[in-house]
């Protein structure tokens, strides 16, 4: 616990995180590199159906695709180290800039989803636990079950129908204004918020049975204090663990949800790139998502250690 | 001064505490003894209004200095007028909160300011024999004995009129038990609280208690001064309990045991609950519950 040991511990945690980042990103990109090579000859695709064998050979030499696979892999890694994923053959823009330009839109709906999970999911979960037998709590729990069970493309179509077509309250496609982010966010958030409600409820119902809650009551603390100040932090670790895993899931769900609402984030960009065989964009997207996922799990570790002193000690080992 | 009259606690349609009455005077330590499942803990949890989920008070009253302990009143005075020390210090502290803050919390709840509460928490730590620098540690960084000292510090923080210690040393190493009892008795003397010490350990009770109440199957079967009950027990159950206690110098040979098992409350036999195991049971014992009269609830003693 002494301050003198804190600095090296933070440094060590930082070093561990860096190693994890490099290993994960390297693994994902290596896999992607070989899978893309297995999926067919990019030169033939680029030249198109009408091209002659000479054209294909020329493109192949230009792109270095005639070199041995290991040489290509080495070049690829060297490029990645410089964050150079090549240029999109369709727009002529460097792939990484194209992806980073779209990233804020995706982060907007994923971030809003996580915020809803905490600001709406946690209070509803507390309500569901505090008044477990009350009708309002039952309604919350039932609603959470339904939201959790509904696939996001079905929910997305439903929301589109009701709020864009019938009521006309919200735009049905595009990403020009924050208003355009509302329906994609709701579609994305339904599962996450529902899961958080259920996790908080289950965690609280378990925590409330613990001896230390009785101690709080013995000290004269009311039910609300016992629930919010003592049970809730103890119910938090599973919620945090879920949100970390779910962040990765949310990033991949944007592929569907952004497509549905023609929302111009990296999910829609990725789908478009795959259909156009735009490998630089695909690789840059995968790289950015891998970095994000590792970063989120690192943030999760830090938050977990902040909440639970026992985790801090384990980490110090 | 605590007065409990005809207390009944019911859980799932079964009386787990069945008409218990007793008194504890200021400064006095009442030892409440009996086998596990005899209802000692439930009796005291009921007095403090801390009964677990399915259990409810369905009869009787408890009063502290003449004021009846209703649920609403208990909500206000718990922690201030009544202090509770629990059995297992490993689970009775919040693992995510510094121990100093947990002690300060009871003071904050009952109206002390932040700084005053923190200062007083440090004093309390010293009073239970823990250095003030430990205020900032978490429960998992302390031993079981240290944690129990923290729980005791919380219980006596506001100098309660009633101190309830439920098996305070059962979960601890034998070597630590002695220290914890010393801390507890010092705290009890210092606060002058009427104290109930719940324990299945007769040795422990005999050292600490002025008076003793013996429970069996949810009922009180004998009360008296420590000397009376320990030296010359009158109820056959108390007598058997005293005989089955290991003593130095008692010679070799197996310890006498009470044949049979204490009944579960839902299969409690009619009449005196002890009669199937009692060596001196009369015909009447199987039909009528003997009242607690003259400190003993036994037909054989009262009629004989």
Chain A residue numbers touching B88 (CB-CB < 8 A):
211
The backbone torsions φ and ψ at residue B212, rounded to the nearest 5 degrees and listed phi first, read -130, 140
Interface mutation target, options A210, A218, A304, chain B, most CBs of B under 10 Å: A218
Residue of A1, A215, A313 with shortest CB distance to B93: A215
B294: left (phi over 0), alpha (psi -120 to 50) or beta: left
Distance from CA of A130 to the nearest CA of B (A): 14
Interface mutation target, options A6, A129, A217, A220, chain B, most CBs of B under 10 Å: A220
**Cross-chain residue pair A212–B140, CB shorter than 8 Å:** no
Q: In what order do the strands lie in the sheet with B162-166?
A: B82-85, B162-166, B194-198, B29-33, B211-216, B219-225
Chain B residue numbers touching A237 (CB-CB < 8 A):
none
Chain B residue numbers touching A309 (CB-CB < 8 A):
95-96, 138, 140
Distance from CA of B34 to the nearest CA of A (A): 23
B residues 137-156 closer than 8 Å to A (CB) = 137-138, 140-141, 151, 154-155
* Total residues found in chain A within this entry: 317
Report whether B237 contacts B301 (CB < 8 A). no
pLDDT band at A305 (very low <50, low <70, confident <90, very high): confident
The backbone torsions φ and ψ at residue B215, rounded to the nearest 5 degrees and listed phi first, read -110, 145
pLDDT at A283 over 60: yes
Residue of A215, A230, A309 with shortest CB distance to B86: A215
Mean of pLDDT values over B252-256:
73
Residue of A210, A212, A214 with shortest CB distance to B50: A214
Looking at residue A261, its pLDDT comes to 86
pLDDT at B218 over 90: yes
- For A5-9, A66-70, A228-232, B180-184, which range has the lowest pLDDT when averaged over its residues? A5-9
The domain limits of chain B are 2-303
Mean of the per-residue pLDDT values for chain B?
91
B106 touches chain A (CB under 8 A): yes
pLDDT band at A2 (very low <50, low <70, confident <90, very high): very low
d(CA B256, CA B241): 9
Q: Which fold has domain B2-303?
A: Rossmann fold (3.40.50)
pLDDT band at B250 (very low <50, low <70, confident <90, very high): low
pLDDT at A317 over 60: no
Identify the residue with better confidence: A55 or A296.
A296
A209: number of Cβ within 10 Å: 12
The backbone torsions φ and ψ at residue B255, rounded to the nearest 5 degrees and listed phi first, read -70, 140
**Cross-chain residue pair B140–A313, CB shorter than 8 Å:** yes
Distance from CA of B131 to the nearest CA of A (A): 16
CATH class of A95-316: mainly alpha
**Cross-chain residue pair B92–A309, CB shorter than 8 Å:** no
Identify the residue with better confidence: A136 or A192.
A192
Residue of A220, A233, A308 with shortest CB distance to B110: A220
Checking ipTM against 0.85, whether it exceeds it is yes
Task: Look at residues A271, A278, A268, A269 and name the one whose alpha carbon lies nearest to residue A89.
Answer: A278
- Percentage of residues in chain B having pLDDT higher than 70: 98
Distance from CA of B106 to the nearest CA of A (A): 5
Give the count of alpha carbons within 13 A of A210, CB side only.
24
DSSP 3-state percent helix, strand, coil across chain B (nearest 5): 40, 20, 40
pLDDT tens string B44-93: 999 999 998 889 999 999 999 999 999 999 999 999 999 999 999 999 99
pLDDT band at A156 (very low <50, low <70, confident <90, very high): confident
Closest chain A residue to the Cα of B85, Cα to Cα = A215
The single-letter DSSP state of residue B29 is E
Looking at residue A50, its pLDDT comes to 76
Chain A residue numbers touching B83 (CB-CB < 8 A):
218
d(CA B222, CA B296): 4
The domain limits of chain A are 15-81, 95-316
Report whether A179 contacts A286 (CB < 8 A). no
B101 touches chain A (CB under 8 A): no
Q: Residue A223, exposed/middle/buried by CB under 10 A (0-12, 13-18, 19+)?
A: middle
In the three-class reduction of DSSP (H, G, I as helix; E, B as strand; rest coil), residue B36 is classed as coil
Looking at residue A315, its pLDDT comes to 54
d(CA B91, CA B83): 17
pLDDT tens string A231-274: 999 999 999 999 999 999 999 999 999 988 888 999 999 999 98
pLDDT at A3 over 50: no
Looking at residue A35, its pLDDT comes to 84
pLDDT at A316 over 60: no
pLDDT tens string B192-210: 999 999 998 888 898 899 9
pLDDT tens string B82-118: 999 999 999 999 999 999 999 999 999 999 999 999 9
Chain A residue numbers touching B95 (CB-CB < 8 A):
212, 234, 308-310
B135 touches chain A (CB under 8 A): no
Looking at residue A164, its pLDDT comes to 76
């Amino acid at each position: 616990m002494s301050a003198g040991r804190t600095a090296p511990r933070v440094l060590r945690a930082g070093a561990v995180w860096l190693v994890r980042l490099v290993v994960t990103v390297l693994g994902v990109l290596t896999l992607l590199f070989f899978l893309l090579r297995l999926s067919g000859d990019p030169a033939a695709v680029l030249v198109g159906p009408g091209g002659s064998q000479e054209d294909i050979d020329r493109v192949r030499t230009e792109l270095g695709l005639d070199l041995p696979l290991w040489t290509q892999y080495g070049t690829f890694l060297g490029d990645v180290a410089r964050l150079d994923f090549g240029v999109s053959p369709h727009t002529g823009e460097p792939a990484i800039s194209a992806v980073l330009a779209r990233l804020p839109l995706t982060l907007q709906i994923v971030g809003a989803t996580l915020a809803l999970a905490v600001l709406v999911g946690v209070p509803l979960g507390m309500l569901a636990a505090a008044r477990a037998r009350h009708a309002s709590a039952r309604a919350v729990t039932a609603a959470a079950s339904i939201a959790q069970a509904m696939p996001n493309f079905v929910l997305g179509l439903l929301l589109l129908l009701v709020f864009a077509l019938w009521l006309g309250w919200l735009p049905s496609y595009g990403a020009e204004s924050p208003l355009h982010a509302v329906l994609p966010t709701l579609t994305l958030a339904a599962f996450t918020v529902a899961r958080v409600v259920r996790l908080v409820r289950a965690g609280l119902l378990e925590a409330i049975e613990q001896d230390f809650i009785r101690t709080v009551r013995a000290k004269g603390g009311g039910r609300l204090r016992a629930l919010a100040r003592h049970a809730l932090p103890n119910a938090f670790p599973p919620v945090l663990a879920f949100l970390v895993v779910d962040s990765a899931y949310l990033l991949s769900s944007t592929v569907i949800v952004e497509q549905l609402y023609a929302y111009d984030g990296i999910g829609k960009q990725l789908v478009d790139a795959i259909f156009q065989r735009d490998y630089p964009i695909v690789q840059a997207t995968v790289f950015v998502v891998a970095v994000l996922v590792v970063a989120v799990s690192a943030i999760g570790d830090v938050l977990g250690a902040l909440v639970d002193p026992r985790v801090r000690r384990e980490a110090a080992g | 001064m605590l007065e409990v009259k005809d207390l009944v606690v019911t859980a799932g349609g079964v009386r787990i505490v069945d008409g218990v009455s007793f008194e504890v005077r200021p400064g006095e330590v009442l030892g409440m003894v009996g086998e596990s499942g005899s209802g000692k803990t439930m009796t005291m949890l009921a007095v403090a209004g801390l009964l677990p989920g399915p259990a409810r008070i369905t009869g009787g009253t408890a009063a502290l200095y003449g004021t009846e302990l209703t649920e609403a009143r208990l909500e206000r005075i718990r922690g201030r007028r009544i202090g509770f020390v629990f059995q297992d210090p490993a689970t009775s502290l919040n693992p995510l909160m510094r121990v100093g803050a947990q002690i300060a919390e009871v003071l904050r709840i009952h109206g002390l300011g932040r700084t005053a509460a923190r200062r007083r928490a440090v004093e309390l730590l010293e009073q239970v024999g823990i250095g003030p620098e430990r205020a900032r540690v978490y429960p998992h960084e302390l031993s079981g004995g240290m944690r129990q000292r923290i729980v005791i510090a919380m219980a006596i923080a506001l100098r309660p009129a009633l101190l309830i210690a439920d098996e305070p040393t059962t979960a601890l190493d034998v070597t630590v038990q002695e220290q914890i009892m010393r801390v507890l008795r010092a705290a009890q003397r210092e606060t002058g609280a009427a104290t109930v010490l719940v324990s299945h350990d007769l040795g422990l009770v005999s050292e600490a208690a002025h008076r003793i109440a013996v429970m069996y199957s949810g009922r009180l079967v004998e009360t008296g001064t420590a000397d009376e009950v320990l030296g010359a027990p009158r109820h056959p159950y108390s007598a058997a309990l005293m005989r089955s206690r290991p003593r130095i110098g008692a010679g070799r040979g197996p310890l006498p045991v009470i044949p049979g098992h204490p009944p579960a409350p839902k299969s409690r036999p009619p009449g005196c609950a002890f009669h199937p195991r009692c060596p001196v049971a009369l015909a009447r014992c199987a039909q009528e519950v003997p009242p607690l009269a003259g400190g003993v609830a036994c037909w054989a003693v009262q009629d004989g």
